[in-house]
Amino acid sequence: MLLWLGGCATVDFDYPKEPSTYVADTSDTYLAGLVDDLVAAHPGQSAFYMQSDGVEALATRVLLALRAERTIDVQYYLIKNDPIGYVFIESLLNAADRGVRVRVLLDDVFTKDYDAGLAVLDDHPDIEIRIFNPVARGGSRFWNGLTDFSRVNRRMHNKTFTVDNRFTIVGGRNIASEYFAANDETNFGDLDVLAYGPIVDDVSRMFDSYWNDELAVSIDALIEPPEDPEMVMAQLRATIIESREALSDTRYAEVLTAAVFEMVSVQPEEFDWAPYELAFDAPEKGAGVELDAEDSILTPMRDAVATAEESLLILSPYFVPRKAGLEFFRKLRERGIEVRVVTNSLASNNHAIVHSGYAPVRKKLLDMGVKLYEVRPDALPTGVERAGGAGTEANLHLKVFIVDRRLFFLGSFNFDPRSAYINTELGVIIDSPKLAGWGVDEIDAVLAKRTYELRLNDQYQLRWYTREDGEWVKYEKEPETTAWLRFKVGLMRMLPIKGQL
């Protein structure tokens, strides 16, 4: 016990840091020249361009970073040190080398093993790295997190990318190969929206509230700076170049280059102008503060769903409704609202323990008339096939709900207790029949061949239906799973942890 306690450390939340804010007036930049006249012609609205193709989504980030002249603000749950992570970091580094101010706010849950790289990036005169709600370094990181679990359990799940305060990207993607159709084993189906207009100021103000919050800690407060930062930076740049060269001869590099040119040619009329609401949790949620209604993402989300007159379509990789959630769906059904939910099957879920929280409520939901669809592991996300990953498995990761083919929400929010009550989340509610109709039509077109539809038979048993080779096929057990996996999930169902899922 003494050795264990001796390995614990604390985070210095009082470590000095300079507050900073977004640069509002960037009217002299190239990106402002593209959009400012259009924004003036659409008061009270913003322009939105949906990106379901993973390759296109990466190309957009690379292109925006290339066009950046003044500022880049980055907020993510994770950035991996894999080939796509290096593409992303190189784009930020190149921008900083040109004198662009780069602020990176990163959650701490996946930063293990690359503190030194973050520290040397922070040493760049035009890059600043802050870690949100960090685990203490020194001693065992695992035990430090465990001894401060009530705080460390709360994570920043927000995802935004904003350039020159003129364009922003909001959605569900983190920065890693699997989010951009580049993973050799599993790729995530996801969705971002590229936007400009007043929403960019809203995102920038939200970013500043997190950036200047007490929980946003300078990387210098967590680890000692490298003894020879120039050498470490040279090593990092060499690693980035090596990764880029390894990627350059692949099919992925070819389609990524093509996607960059495709994004250059996107025309203004391909964006949809619409009223919107940026919905997000105040950063204090990360400290365990119970938020007032106006500071919680739940309030605008509930208000949007309350307007439903005909239908609600939900897509969420992790779907764990508890008693209040079941009652919520029951009331919608009593009003005659059609409710459809698309989530991961056990075979496509990358967190089997979350499936253990969802599985027990399936029959209750079906009983009340909610329609359930589970994504097949072979349902390739958009962009994977053209990038050469046709043999990989699929995982649903996008977080969307659509009300009456009119309101379209997308962001980081999963329909589970963790998103509702533990992590900080962000999304945008767009009042656009065009985009909402597009979303419903896209889902309807692939439900039969990319999901399993769940039904109850006369013996009150679950059955899974899907189309294979043009024919309907019925499964009597969780499709494409082993007995061992089903047994493990059955054991997990007994654990008293559903509020953490």
Hey, what are 195's tokens? 């936007």
Other C-beta atoms within 10 Å of 464: how many? 22
CATH superfamily to which 277-500 belongs: Endonuclease Chain A (3.30.870.10)
> Domain segments of the chain: what residues?
43-270, 277-500
Residue 319, helix vs strand vs coil: strand
Q: Residue 170's beta-bridge partner residues?
A: 160, 193
Examine domains 43-270 and 277-500 and report if their fold is the same: yes
CA nearest to 320, candidates 412, 413, 415, 411? 415
pLDDT mean over 395-405: 96
Give residue-wise pLDDT tens across range 254-294. 999 999 999 999 999 999 999 999 999 999 999 999 999 99
* Sequence letter at residue 84: I
Give residue-wise pLDDT tens across range 59-72. 999 999 999 999 99
| Backbone angle region of 371, left / alpha / beta, with phi > 0 → left and psi within -120 to 50 → alpha | beta
pLDDT at 3: 45
Provide the annotated active-site residues. Answer: 157, 159, 164, 397, 399, 404
pLDDT at 166: 98
Classify domain 43-270 at the CATH topology level: Endonuclease; Chain A (3.30.870)
Residue 213, helix vs strand vs coil: coil
Give residue-wise pLDDT tens across range 132-161. 999 888 766 666 667 778 888 899 999 999
Q: Identify the residue whose tokens are 């990319």.
A: 450
pLDDT at 84: 96
Q: Residue 351's beta-bridge partner residues?
A: none
pLDDT at 178: 95
* Sequence letter at residue 392: T
Residue 6: band (very low, low, confident or very high) from pLDDT cuts 50, 70, 90: very low
Residue 391: band (very low, low, confident or very high) from pLDDT cuts 50, 70, 90: confident
Residue 387: band (very low, low, confident or very high) from pLDDT cuts 50, 70, 90: confident
pLDDT at 146: 73
Q: Identify the residue whose tokens are 């292109």.
A: 63
Looking from the CA of 358 toward its CB, the CA atoms found within 13 Å total 23
pLDDT at 214: 96
pLDDT at 145: 67
Task: Round to whole Å and give the CA distance between 361 and 355.
Answer: 10
Report the relative pairing of strands 338-344 and 371-375 from DSSP bridges.
Answer: parallel
Give residue-wise pLDDT tens across range 323-336. 999 999 999 999 99
Through-space distance between the first and last CA atoms of the chain, rounded to whole angstroms: 30
Residue 317, helix vs strand vs coil: coil
- Is 367 a residue whose pLDDT tops 50? yes
**For the packed helices 251-264 and 229-248, what is the interaxial angle rounded to 10 degrees?**
90
- 10 Å CB burial of residue 131 (0-12, 13-18, 19+) is buried
Other C-beta atoms within 10 Å of 363: how many? 15
- Which own/partner pairs from 365-368 qualify as long-range (CB within 8 Å, at least 24 positions apart)? 365/321, 365/326, 365/329, 365/341, 366/454, 366/455, 366/456, 367/456, 368/326, 368/329, 368/330, 368/333
Question: Average pLDDT over the chain, rounded to whole?
Answer: 93
pLDDT at 309: 97
pLDDT at 227: 84
